[in-house]
A and B are shown apart, each in its own frame.
Chain A
Amino acid sequence: MLKVSNLQARVDGKMILNGLDLEVKAGEVHAIMGPNGSGKSTFANVLAGHEAFEVTGGTVEFEGKNLLEMEPEERAWAGIFLAFQYPVEIPGVGNTYFLRMALNAIRKARGQEELDSVAFMKVLREKVKLLKLRDDLLKRPLNEGFSGGEKKRNEILQMALLEPKLAILDETDSGLDIDALKIVADGVNALRDGTRSVIVVTHYQRLLDYIVPDHTHVLYKGKIVKSGGKELALELEEKGYGWIQESHAA
């Protein structure tokens, strides 16, 4: 589904990704861990098409298409979704209005009929129930004044509605209490149908108890320096990154 080869990217003239390789097959869950500043969010943003990051080398294929040539919205239409580490607040736009606008834009691009208000509300209701979101968050302006955890849950609500083929969760677990963590995991697992894939960027093992990864990778200085199964995450939590950094000291 996703094939990243030798990806290099920089921001403000500074190289952040230095030859990243990753292959995600349909239905798989991949966890990416790594120390602060190693390039995890940069990688996620490059996949979603953020223009601030300049790709200087390498390729990214998504379902056989060259992802790097696509605009951010085209990537969303193709089925990529990034749950942001720091979702933006947009005062002046109702959360529900935005959800409908996004869903209908994607439906339209995919040749599906746009949903009218009543049909949309029905779909939204189901997802809201699944994620146990409070109603007032739907009425408020998009993310404005939401707590850290509420923002993260709202990202997952968007994901549940847009039903992406590849969901990238960038530290969605940070700042979630244990109940919220389970709810978010349920949301992600509800999406999994054997064909959809997930990349989970996290610092902690605990989310991976609920969303069990098929593969775990360590990103260090813009490269994947170690890959393993779900045990690797446990090992990292126990030992930290020191032992990897040592083995990679130039």
Chain B
Amino acid sequence: MSHDPIQHYQDLCQSRSQQKQPAWLRAIRLSAAARLAELGFPTRKHEEWKYTPVRPLTAVAFAQSPLPLSLSRVAAEDLLSRTTQGALRVVIGDGQILPAISSLEALPAGVSIRSLREILDTENEPDDLLRQRFALALDRVGDNAFDALNLALFSDGVVIDIPKNTSVTQPIEIVYVGSCSSTPQIGAIRSFVSLARGSQASIIERFVGLSPDGAHNPHTTGSASTPHNPHTTGSASTPHNPHTTGSAPTPHNPHTTGSAPTPHNPHTTGSAPYFTTASTAFFVEENAALDHYKIQQDDPSAFHIAWTWLHQKSHSRVSTFAVSLGGKIARNETEAALDGQGIETTLNGLYLVEGDRFVDNRTFLDHAKPHCHSVEVYKGILSERGKGTFNGKILVRQDAQKTDAKQSNQALLLSDDATIYSKPQLEIFADDVKCTHGATTGYLDEKSMFYARSRGVPEDAARGLLTYAFANALIEGVRLPALQQELSALLAQRFQLSAMDDLMGLLDEQELG
């Protein structure tokens, strides 16, 4: 029973294309599938995929469930406890929006957050803009086979529109849930976020895994120094199967009727990996400001390939921070097109890789116009047999005089078997520019180690402290306090530091007193 991955995805695309949708979209899907067939999956021979182990991913015959993921009450509560407190929330389970646990009611005036699937289902002819954006997406596929796959198969997405001069104070969080069930599931999502002139918003994209018992994996939430995989233990007796029928509290969920046929058997004991592929395009117009956070906490058995596309216009400001904590193989691609003057772009990333995991970071900054400023700082902590890559490309076009671009990748190797491949690429066609890049790979700073130890901190704890500090220096830049505290606490736990009490809070209290 040999598995032909290309044929498999062609089949999935065929059934996806038979579902109701505008004709132009069907055509785009089929073109994308044809492109995938033409390209085939990348191998180590492809420069862009030189280090990425693609085979473990293509070897799995992922299924695409036509039905939304059903969650028990306990699983849903557990899931929500892992999201950002105080954020507006859209939850996507295995590729489909789950309205019952999303909170889209109390939106600020003019702001709209919609399901892409609903737009495409209900309106025969959605606005031209969406059509244009899909045409652009197809155009951009180039030789990226996985992008083609995503476009051929996406089952839903989030369409967010922030109107002119509107500041959304509450962060908006998209939660992507992948479930480890008996059948390997693929969740393919495509989202579009538009920030009109002078608007402002914070968007969090969070990727989490759901094991068969509905409990989350401790690996991605902090105590990662233990390399055991909870999924290898049997889950036969677990009462909270995420696919359990009938127990979900959501009236919107077809599973709750109990009569809907489930394409994947929810009650078997297996725990297959899932594959999340998400493509999110941000259109940031003149003078608009976006803070974007990608918190990737997928199950350690999962596959993750996702894109962040940033389209920036003049005097806009985007800051994105990609935190990679999970997945067996995770690939983060970020592309920023700086199409205007006076643009500011920050692309930061933090990746923690332990066990046998692999994290691939690719960024591309396209400076097309003069007077733009970009800063890029990536930091990696690799332990055990963890592997990672950083490939950061900066293109400065001929027009882009007075560009100021800074890039650095700093990796900390905590074991001899951990590996980082770092490849900065600068292509500069303008003559009056300031571009710097640097890559450092190394161990903890000896002077700092001595400093901490000379104050009585034991060697192991000092090591933990400095590893924490290395990562936390980036986390201090997170502008959402709840998220910043969460990430700091998660790091502290991972590097076995004592609880981070709210010392600062105490300081403030005493100040008042």
Residues 43-67 of A at the B interface (beta carbon under 8 Å) = 48-52
Q: Which residues of A contact B461 (CB under 8 A)?
A: 101, 105
Residues 250-304 of B at the A interface (beta carbon under 8 Å) = none
CB pair A92 B453 closer than 8 Å = no
Answer whether residue B358 sits at the interface, using C-beta atoms and an 8 A cutoff. no
The chain A residue with its CB closest to the CB of B504 is: A139
What 1/0 flags go to A83-102 for Cβ under 8 Å of B? 01001101111101110111
What 1/0 flags go to A134-167 for Cβ under 8 Å of B? 0100110100000000000000001000100000
Q: How far is the CA of A135 from the CA of B507 in the complex (A)?
A: 8
Q: How far is the CA of A91 from the CA of B497 in the complex (A)?
A: 16
Q: How far is the CA of A135 from the CA of B469 in the complex (A)?
A: 21
Complex partner residue of B450 from A51, A100, A101, A117, CB under 8 angstroms: A51
Size class of the A contact interface (CB-based, 8 Å): 35 or more
Q: Which residues of A contact B507 (CB under 8 A)?
A: 96, 121, 135, 138-139
Q: How far is the CA of A61 from the CA of B473 in the complex (A)?
A: 40
CB pair B456 A90 closer than 8 Å = no
Answer whether residue A125 sits at the interface, using C-beta atoms and an 8 A cutoff. yes
CB pair A92 B456 closer than 8 Å = no
Q: Which residues of A contact B448 (CB under 8 A)?
A: 88, 90
Answer whether residue A72 sits at the interface, using C-beta atoms and an 8 A cutoff. yes
CB pair A91 B469 closer than 8 Å = yes
Answer whether residue B468 sits at the interface, using C-beta atoms and an 8 A cutoff. yes
Answer whether residue B451 sits at the interface, using C-beta atoms and an 8 A cutoff. yes
Size class of the B contact interface (CB-based, 8 Å): 35 or more
Q: Which residues of B contact A117 (CB under 8 A)?
A: 501-503, 506
Q: Which residues of A contact B455 (CB under 8 A)?
A: 76, 98, 102, 105-106, 158, 162
CB pair A121 B506 closer than 8 Å = yes
CB pair A77 B503 closer than 8 Å = no
CB pair B454 A92 closer than 8 Å = no
Answer whether residue B428 sits at the interface, using C-beta atoms and an 8 A cutoff. no
Q: How far is the CA of A119 from the CA of B498 in the complex (A)?
A: 16
Q: Which residues of B contact A48 (CB under 8 A)?
A: 450, 454
Q: Which residues of B contact A100 (CB under 8 A)?
A: 503
Q: How far is the CA of A73 from the CA of B500 in the complex (A)?
A: 22
Q: Which residues of B contact A102 (CB under 8 A)?
A: 452, 455-457
CB pair B450 A72 closer than 8 Å = yes
Answer whether residue A82 sits at the interface, using C-beta atoms and an 8 A cutoff. yes
Complex partner residue of B446 from A52, A96, A106, CB under 8 angstroms: A52
CB pair A76 B468 closer than 8 Å = no
CB pair B453 A72 closer than 8 Å = yes
The chain A residue with its CB closest to the CB of B475 is: A92
Q: Which residues of B contact A51 (CB under 8 A)?
A: 446, 450
Q: How far is the CA of A97 from the CA of B502 in the complex (A)?
A: 10
Q: Which residues of A contact B450 (CB under 8 A)?
A: 48-51, 72
The chain B residue with its CB closest to the CB of A84 is: B451
Q: Which residues of A contact B458 (CB under 8 A)?
A: 73, 105
CB pair B465 A93 closer than 8 Å = yes
Complex partner residue of A76 from B453, B473, B500, B503, CB under 8 angstroms: B453
Q: Given that A101-B465, A105-B461 are contacting pairs, would A94 and B503 also be in contact in the complex, using a CB cutoff of 8 Å?
A: yes
Q: Which residues of A contact B125 (CB under 8 A)?
A: none
The chain A residue with its CB closest to the CB of B453 is: A72
CB pair B472 A93 closer than 8 Å = yes
Complex partner residue of A71 from B459, B468, B476, CB under 8 angstroms: B459
> Which A residues lie at the B interface, using CB under 8 A?
48-52, 71-73, 75-77, 81-82, 84, 87-88, 90-94, 96-98, 100-106, 109, 116-118, 121, 125, 135, 138-139, 141, 158, 162
List 21 interface pairs A-B (beta carbons < 8 Å), by A numbering. A49-B454, A52-B446, A72-B453, A73-B454, A88-B451, A90-B452, A90-B466, A92-B476, A94-B504, A97-B500, A98-B465, A105-B461, A116-B501, A121-B506, A121-B507, A125-B510, A138-B507, A139-B507, A141-B469, A141-B476, A162-B456
> 4 closest Cβ contacts across the A-B interface?
A92-B469, A92-B473, A76-B456, A92-B472
